[in-house]
Structure 1
Amino acid sequence: MTQQATVTWRLPSTVGVSAGEVATGVFGEGPPVVLVHGTPAWSYLWRDVVPLLARRYTVHVWDLLGFGDSRLADGAEPSIATQARTLAELIEHWSLDEPRLVGHDIGGGIVLRTHLIERVPALQLALLDAAVLGPWNTTFTEHMQRHAEAYRTMPPHVFGDIVAPRLRTAVHRPMPDDVAAAYLWPWRGEAGQRRWVDQVASVSFDDTRDVVARLDRIAAETLVLWGEEDGWLDTSTADRLAAAIPGAQQSRVAGAGHFVAEDDPDGTARELLRFFDRKSA
């Protein structure tokens, strides 16, 4: 990839887990909130949301295994199931009791699998443009899964020319060049290219089937929050997801695409705080 980025957002700590080493950060003070990004993002997605939430909450952030500064152990795959087990390990490491769990994109599937399959208690759940109900892969992702070896072996600059414009479609508003370069930073060069294709090949709706079968068992207060202009997962998916979870609340962020926290971090934080604060009150 030819674009270079000076990345000012990096998580300060690392935690060893069964499937590798996770980059983490803890910000603010108050009741615990855990933010889980999706693909092909990394914790950079939350950079402008974290300070707003950290005024009232302790915000725990991490890079998924194989994303950002986190590294997979040899032989481990960055599947949703692996990420969910990792989140359960992190919550134990942080000694959190019923945290608020926030998941974006496949992070939504990870959060729900952690809660429903790994049996980690949660006070509240917030699902942002969440990849839970299948089929949720885009046509681009499906093509890459079918032809993974071709994508792994193409020249890195060609791969970059393919994924760079694709990533820009995750937002509704124009993405500045420096921001686009920061999102592409973890995927640069041959190693980054392999990481991108590996995580695409490992992400499957199979890891959320068990979750979908248990959605009607969710007792935690749940918010389904969506970018009104999401071009990757239509708002009809939000309607179906909210209908499947007992008592789930819905909200939209106007003018925001799939990367809702990138398009409108203030609006995203405002909706999350409104949801969180009702429980606090």
Structure 2
Amino acid sequence: MDLNEHFEHEGATIACGRAGTGPNVVFCHGTPFSSRVWSRYADALTDSFTVHLWDMPGYGQSSMTPDHPVDFGAQARAFAALLQHWKLDRPHVVAHDFGGAVSLRAALFEQAVYSSLMLVDVVAIPPSGSPFFRFVADNPTTLDAIPPYIHEAVLRAYIQNASHRGLAEDDLQALLEPWTSDSGHPAFYRQITQYDERYLVDNEGRLGELALPVHVVWGREDGWIPLQTGQRLAALIPGAEFTDVPDAGHLIQYDNPVVLANLIRSWLSRTRP
């Protein structure tokens, strides 16, 4: 599925795309990823749904200009604006990692309205962040000037670590690619240094206000965000379902794709109008 559309928001260019027919489904990616983590799932759903993909500002094919903010607040505003641009009425939303906090904040603070929300190994409540993520956040000028070959080696190890089973080389390369360009290298470290956990504290304080079907899905072997965090998140959301997936880490999309694909299709079929 190609991101063949562009939407301008607060000076940033958002790459996005849509395909298929039926109820609207929007996928949100996380960090340090892009919509590529959802592309195969989007393709598979186009027989029954109109599927929307987007790269957040500062990620993937979207603009990576240094003066554009990429924090949770900016991304939530961008998401809410993109939903209005697409003229979507109560879409289903499926979010991973950072996309969880973004989609939650858009609903809780930006008046975005969804038919349902599936949260897959999401950054949503404190504490959060892998050990490497926290290291970069604590040392903001340490790594953005390292030679490209070292930067790529660091990225390769970091992203591979998100998978429990290990990523195939072509999948790993696709996730690395946006961050190895001249603009992507500093953008990778910039999005970490702008990370602010106060947004997660704000989200957590209002989770009880959510009044929609929510399904929290978690890789049982997630080494970035423990299973217990997912269980606690589900307990904070009224009526939320919780499913843990065996043999899957943080990148559940690659570790156990059949189970995740079945969970997504079943959830969307149960919650569609």
Match of 1:170 among 140, 157, 162: 162
Q: Secondary structure at the match of 1:246?
A: coil
CA 1:189–1:157: 2 relative to 1, 3 Å: farther
Larger displacement relative to structure 2 (88-97 or 259-268): 259-268
Cα distance, 1:269 vs. partner?
Answer: 2.0
Q: Provide the residue aligned with 1:103 in structure 2.
A: 95
Cα distance, 1:10 vs. partner?
Answer: 4.6
Taking only the aligned residue pairs, the percentage that are identical comes to 32
* Alpha-carbon contact 2:58-2:65 (below 8 Å) kept: no
Cα distance, 1:280 vs. partner?
Answer: 2.7
- Is 1:29 aligned with 2:21? yes
Give, in whole Å, the separation in 2 of the partners of 1:111 and 1:74: 23
Give, in whole Å, the separation in 2 of the partners of 1:258 and 1:204: 21
Larger displacement relative to structure 2 (217-226 or 265-274): 265-274
* Alpha-carbon contact 1:49-1:268 (below 8 Å) kept: no
Cα distance, 1:73 vs. partner?
Answer: 5.4
1:206-242 deviations in Å (ceiling 9; x for gaps): 1222211100111011000111221111111111000
Unpaired runs of at least 5, structure 2: none
Give, in whole Å, the separation in 1 of the partners of 2:11 and 2:204: 25
Give, in whole Å, the separation in 2 of the partners of 1:190 and 1:280: 43
Superposed CA RMSD:
1.4
* Alpha-carbon contact 2:137-2:195 (below 8 Å) kept: no
Give, in whole Å, the separation in 1 of the partners of 2:100 and 2:270: 21
* Regions of 4+ moved over 3 Å: none
Q: Provide the residue aligned with 2:211 in structure 1.
A: 219
Match of 1:46 among 38, 54, 57: 38
1:52-92 deviations in Å (ceiling 9; x for gaps): 22221111100111111101556221111111100001100
Give, in whole Å, the separation in 2 of the partners of 1:151 and 1:10: 32
Question: Number of residue pairs matched?
Answer: 273
Cα distance, 1:174 vs. partner?
Answer: 2.1
**What is the TM-score of this pair, normalised by structure 2?**
0.96
**Partner amino acid, structure 2, of 1:255:** D
**What is the TM-score of this pair, normalised by structure 1?**
0.93
**Partner amino acid, structure 2, of 1:128:** V
Match of 1:130 among 122, 139, 149: 122
* Alpha-carbon contact 2:160-2:172 (below 8 Å) kept: yes
Q: Secondary structure at the match of 2:119?
A: strand
1:46-65 residue pairs with structure 2 within 5 A? 46-65=38-57
* Alpha-carbon contact 1:72-1:78 (below 8 Å) kept: no
1:1-281 residue pairs with structure 2 within 5 A? 10-72=2-64, 75-280=67-272
* Alpha-carbon contact 1:32-1:100 (below 8 Å) kept: yes
Give, in whole Å, the separation in 1 of the partners of 2:205 and 2:33: 27
